[in-house]
Amino acid sequence: MNKWTRRGLLTTGVIFGGGLVLGIAIRPGNRTPGLAPLVTDDGETLVHTWVKLDTDNRITVIVPHSEMGQGVGTALSQMLADELDADWNLVSFEEAPAIEEFANHSLGQGFLLPGVELPAMIAPSVEGVLIKTAQALDLQITGGSMSIRATGQYGMRVAGAAVRELLVESAAEAWNVPVSEVSASKSYLAHEASGRRAPYSEFASAAAEKTPSLAPRLKTPDQFTVMGTHVERHDIPAKVDGSALFAMDVQVPGMLYATVRRAPTFGGNLAKLDDKAARGVRGVKDVISLPADEIGGTMSSFAAPATVAVVADSYWSAKQGLDKLELEWSSPDDVKRSSDDMFAQFDRDISQAANRQADIRSGDVAGAISGAAAVVKADYQVPFLAHTCMEPQNATVSVTDSGCEVWVGCQNPLGFRSAIADALGMDSDAVVVNNHFMGGGFGRRAIADCAVQAALLSQKMRKPVQVVWSREEDVRQDYYRPAIQSRFSGALDENGNLLAWENTYVNKHEPAEAPLIPYSVDSLDIGHVESPTHVPFGAWRSVDHSQHGFFTESFIDEVAIAAGQDPYQYRMDRLKDKPRHRAVLKKAAEAADWGTPLGSGRGRGISLQESFGSLVAQVVEVSLVNGETQVDRVVAAIDAGVAVSPDGLTAQIESGIIYGLTAALYGEITIEDGAVAESNFHDYQALRMPKAPIIETHIINSDAPIGGAGEPGTPGIAPALANAVFDASGVRVRRLPMSRPEVKMQLEDWSASAA
């Protein structure tokens, strides 16, 4: 069955939710005929869906996630290797192909059943339902900081432990000794009493005939030998020496190149096309118009604008031809709006209480506010943001009479396979997706628009076509982080105690818990109103946590200042029943020397964020010079449960901080007459290396479940930065980015008065 019907999917949910045990035959670990292409060497044995062993005792971990610089292949291999008691020097990984067997069923367990150990009796049925659901949804996604805390915890560790059991059982049978007398260590099996010792590879074939357990015994953290240690990442050497293959490196015999231009307004159409001059450019093969359509598949249902593509024998020729096109576009009147129009809309809608929907409500907020000694009020706004991956959007596709082959770097290979099949009118089984390293993803590469364009162009040209977007197209045709406005009221008693917290924001997205706060308050009312815009949006690193982190951690700072209290201590006093939160906040403050004077024109700001299963506290130090904000130092503390790969976790926190700083300092996509005004890094700036701060990361290992790493470093940096600017100058920034003219003017005025 290629796809389940909606009715079938709903029925699965009802059966699963109702607790009825089904005899689902499929289960993780089973070797199926569809996995045969994974065994490319005569000496290899597929012992488990995710594990190969060869005659040299080398272990290959098959990773069902995409590598976009975050080190997921190495970290997931560590988790499997540790439970397998493997010699790390004999372990490597390869990315799983885009086939149903590698649908991310573990994500379902991570979302629906976090921390639940399934009884052996029902584990096969539950796992079977999760597998079929993931396959029905074409789910092979890398995102949400779920790779380690879902696939790693519920997939890789289980697979490693299960294969270890299979190998031990096989050795015990071959040696005719009790299983309890066989030990495994460093990719060898041993029977101490008889002195026998043999490599795992000797028993690979016998182990492959057995059915792996879904509930093997897992190690406790004190037993880890590979997890939690420094190991060299497997993907780094090839990236350093240039041998790593990214999608833009792909060359296929007979390949043509194409680049595109789409209607500048979202949902726009092509009104007029004069391509005579473009066709006169040397090397140009064709000019093709692709009508506005639905880009199917992953993470988007927005109507794509009309597209014009120039196909040539080189990218340069295609780009030269594109620049010579004479184009006129049409667009609906209702999208010819500006950013100012949309923020005015937000301000209007946020004031209409009748349309408000509650997220969480407790106590008597209205009563507390009416009887308060002081009420703090504030509105915050953040703009649309683009992803601007360093590697622009690109894909290579070859469509033939027999099928389609794709070379791309993406965050959901199965989803891309389905989207391309739908666009071409093919069955998904006829589409082969070769996934490659990515030069950044951040949620953008979960949307298949560029790959679909390449597929349609290849189908028309009847040759392989590589589509590469220009940076301008990449900036102006994104699926943006949404702009949001958020309004707060905080009630204080005469001692500065927080009596009530009221918050209304526009447009609720994911995750649902993003606007919630960790601080204790007697009366709480958080809710939202819908105020949709025409601008397409998608997942952006840390999704709604990136906006709400700025809102909530800025406002708690304002409340603390209004109460006349230290922002760090004010937070600590409202976390008395949350020791993990307190430990992270305390670690960051102590490491940053909180409370030590910095001098004139300098300031510190602090933030605390819980997201993706991890807790992160950050302290930012800034210097203000002639109205410019220089970030000098960032101190971060993270509790992600157990740091599977400490170096990788540190790198991800640093990466998240830099990405968030770029947005907080410079990031703003502005809409003018319905279209994006920015085009490249000259007007959509990124933080450059000379201005990058010193970053210190402190890891706290706790007894909590494993949390995420790729996204939790981003949400807290903007509020800590804004709070530091206030500490230095008294200027409160409530609308990002810091480069906005009104912010610079306020800081310049402060600098002049302080001189």
What is the Cα 370 distance to its own chain's centre? 42
- Calpha distance 452→579 (Å, rounded): 49
* pLDDT given at position 299: 43
Confidence of residue 305 (pLDDT cuts 50, 70, 90): confident
Confidence of residue 298 (pLDDT cuts 50, 70, 90): very low
Q: What are phi and psi of 683, to 5 degrees?
A: -120, 0
For 229-249, write each residue's pLDDT tens digit.
999 999 999 999 999 999 999
CA distances 320 to 260, 329, 522, 544, 604, Å, are 11, 20, 64, 39, 50
- Calpha distance 182→176 (Å, rounded): 11
Neighbours of 374 (CB within 10 A): 14
SS3 state of residue 223: helix
Of the given ranges (666-670, 702-706, 751-755), which has the lowest mean pLDDT?
751-755
Token pair in block for residue 413: 């290979």
* pLDDT given at position 108: 80
Strand ordering across the sheet containing 523-529: 357-362, 523-529, 498-506, 484-492, 374-382
Q: Is the pTM of this model over 0.85?
A: yes
For 56-84, write each residue's pLDDT tens digit.
999 999 999 999 999 999 999 999 999 99
Fill in the DSSP letter of residue 537: B
What are the sequence ranges of the domains in the chain? 6-231, 249-331+393-468, 340-384+480-754
Q: What residues have CB less than 8 Å from 40, skipping those under 6 apart?
A: none
Confidence of residue 31 (pLDDT cuts 50, 70, 90): low
Under 8 Å between Cβ of 567 and 606: yes
Amino acid sitting at position 623: S
SS3 state of residue 195: coil
Of the given ranges (302-311, 667-676, 740-749), which has the lowest mean pLDDT?
302-311
Sequential DSSP letters for 130-190: HHHHHHHTT-----TT-IIIIIIIIIIHHHHHHHHHHHHHHHHHHHT--GGGEEEETTEEE
- Calpha distance 133→100 (Å, rounded): 11
Q: Kindly report each contact of residues 35-43 with a partner whose C-beta sits within 8 Å and lies 24 or more positions away, as own/partner.
A: 35/99, 35/101, 37/97, 38/62, 38/97
Q: Residue 608: name the closest of 618, 597, 622 by CA.
A: 618
Fill in the DSSP letter of residue 220: P
Strand ordering across the sheet containing 188-191: 182-185, 188-191, 196-199
Q: Residue 668: name the closest of 381, 470, 379 by CA.
A: 381
Confidence of residue 203 (pLDDT cuts 50, 70, 90): very high
- Looking at 563-645, list the stretches that DSSP marks H as alpha helix, in order from N- to C-terminal side: 567-573, 579-591
Partners of 584 in the beta sheet?
none
Confidence of residue 196 (pLDDT cuts 50, 70, 90): very high
Q: What residues have CB less than 8 Å from 72, skipping those under 6 apart?
A: 63, 65, 66, 142, 147, 148
Host H or E run for residue 528: strand 523-529
Q: Residue 170: name the closest of 154, 191, 194 by CA.
A: 191
What is the Cα 182 distance to its own chain's centre? 42
Q: Is the pLDDT of residue 15 over 50?
A: no
SS3 state of residue 1: coil
Q: Residue 64: name the closest of 107, 4, 26 by CA.
A: 107
Fill in the DSSP letter of residue 216: P
Q: What residues have CB less than 8 Å from 344, skipping those under 6 apart?
A: none
- Calpha distance 355→341 (Å, rounded): 20
As a whole number, the mean pLDDT across the chain is 92
CATH 3.30.365.10 fits 6-231, yes or no: yes
Under 8 Å between Cβ of 549 and 517: no
* pLDDT given at position 112: 73
% of the chain surpassing 70 pLDDT: 94
Q: Does the fold of domain 340-384+480-754 match that of domain 6-231?
A: yes
Average pLDDT over residues 571-579: 97
- Calpha distance 548→546 (Å, rounded): 6
SS3 state of residue 198: strand
* pLDDT given at position 10: 36
Q: Is the pLDDT of residue 295 over 80?
A: no
Under 8 Å between Cβ of 604 and 621: yes
Amino acid sitting at position 687: L
* pLDDT given at position 116: 72
Confidence of residue 30 (pLDDT cuts 50, 70, 90): low
Token pair in block for residue 201: 């590879």
What is the Cα 173 distance to its own chain's centre? 45
* Ramachandran sector of residue 313 (left: φ over 0; alpha: ψ -120 to 50; beta: rest): alpha
Fold of 249-331+393-468: Aldehyde Oxidoreductase; domain 4 (3.30.365)
* pLDDT given at position 292: 73
Q: Is the pLDDT of residue 421 over 90?
A: yes
Q: What residues have CB less than 8 Å from 166, skipping those under 6 apart?
A: 47, 48, 207, 210, 212
SS3 state of residue 380: strand
- Calpha distance 290→296 (Å, rounded): 15
Neighbours of 72 (CB within 10 A): 26
* pLDDT given at position 34: 75
SS3 state of residue 45: strand
* pLDDT given at position 20: 29
Confidence of residue 24 (pLDDT cuts 50, 70, 90): very low
- Calpha distance 170→206 (Å, rounded): 6
* pLDDT given at position 293: 63
Pairing of strands 465-468, 256-262: parallel
- Calpha distance 397→278 (Å, rounded): 23
For 115-135, write each residue's pLDDT tens digit.
777 777 677 777 778 888 899
* pLDDT given at position 261: 97
- Pseudo-torsion of CA 197, 202, 204, 207, nearest 10°? -60
* Ramachandran sector of residue 700 (left: φ over 0; alpha: ψ -120 to 50; beta: rest): beta
Find the length of the chain. 755
For 623-668, write each residue's pLDDT tens digit.
998 889 999 999 999 999 999 999 999 999 999 999 999 999 999 9
Confidence of residue 29 (pLDDT cuts 50, 70, 90): low
Q: Residue 325: name the closest of 311, 304, 305 by CA.
A: 311
CATH of 340-384+480-754, one of 3.40.605.10, 3.90.70.10, 3.40.710.10, 3.30.365.10: 3.30.365.10
Helices (H) and strands (E) in the chain, counts: 20, 29
Token pair in block for residue 524: 């709480």
* pLDDT given at position 302: 63
Q: Half-sphere exposure of residue 596, counting CA atoms within 13 Å on the CB side?
A: 8
- Calpha distance 284→278 (Å, rounded): 7
Q: Half-sphere exposure of residue 59, counting CA atoms within 13 Å on the CB side?
A: 33
Token pair in block for residue 722: 């804004």
Burial class (CB in 10 A: 0-12, 13-18, 19+), 379: middle
Q: Half-sphere exposure of residue 617, counting CA atoms within 13 Å on the CB side?
A: 25
Q: Residue 476: name the closest of 197, 262, 206, 267 by CA.
A: 262
* Ramachandran sector of residue 150 (left: φ over 0; alpha: ψ -120 to 50; beta: rest): alpha
- Calpha distance 153→706 (Å, rounded): 8
Q: Is the pLDDT of residue 13 over 80?
A: no
- Pseudo-torsion of CA 289, 292, 298, 302, nearest 10°? 150
